[in-house]
Amino acid sequence: MSLFYFLNFTKYFTPIFSVLKLKTEHIKPKTYLPLLCVLWFLMSCGSHKNMATQESSIESSPKIIFLNYNIKKTADNKRSIKFINKIVTDGKLKKTDVLEDGIIGDLVCMQLDKNSNTLQRFIIKNPLVKNIEYIDESNSFQNKKIDLDSAQFSLRLQLRPNTKYIAISNFSTSENPKKPLIKTNIN
């Protein structure tokens, strides 16, 4: 009790009480603590809401893009890719292991900006080669490699803000990428 008298809360909170249309002479020192708690609670909730609104407006929403393609071998043993469709949605992908090393036959997918500068690059395992595991007559697991003439494949990417194109080309061991098999316009 003596602490309330010592600090003389009436002097500090008279302006607040006048805004709330409360008369300070009717408020006993015992009621200061609950009023202070309520005021503190209201002020703390209000400041958090403002901060959350500011953060969401500053940060742009991340996007995920789903791309579907059809790949087939041509008569001269090359490959052609046809774009099927795309879906862009809000979201963020979890971090996944990206293949850094590829082999001949794999594909390279690149996110490109408007000047065709590479924003992201990763390897796609050869979609025309399927490895199937099965159980033979002796109940042991066997692997079989199947070469396909055509196949559909899908890509799921974290879309970079400056991405204008998705390019897919054959994997090459040289640093300079070859001409892409397909270049998909995103916007």
DSSP string, 134-179: EE-TTS-EEEEEEE-SEEEEEEEEEE-TT--EEEEEE--SSSSPPP
> Are 95 and 157 found together in one domain?
yes
- The number of distinct structural domains making up the chain is 2
> Are 103 and 49 found together in one domain?
no
Q: What is the pLDDT of residue 17?
A: 56
> Are 45 and 115 found together in one domain?
no
Q: What is the pLDDT of residue 43?
A: 74
> Are 46 and 80 found together in one domain?
no
Q: What is the pLDDT of residue 98?
A: 66
Q: What is the pLDDT of residue 171?
A: 87
> Are 112 and 74 found together in one domain?
yes
Examine the fold and report which residue of 58, 84, 102 is the final residue of a domain before the chain moves on: 58
> Are 74 and 101 found together in one domain?
yes
> Are 94 and 176 found together in one domain?
yes
Q: Which domain holds residue 96?
A: 63-185
Q: Helix, strand, or coil here: 88?
A: strand
Q: What is the pLDDT of residue 182?
A: 94
> Are 28 and 81 found together in one domain?
no
The DSSP secondary structure of 90-115, one letter per residue, reads E--PPP-PPP----BTBEEEEEE-TT
Answer yes or no: pTM beyond 0.75.
Answer: no
What is the mean pLDDT, run by run of 10 residues, along the chain of 187 residues?
A: 51 58 58 71 62 49 94 91 95 77 88 92 92 92 94 94 93 73 90
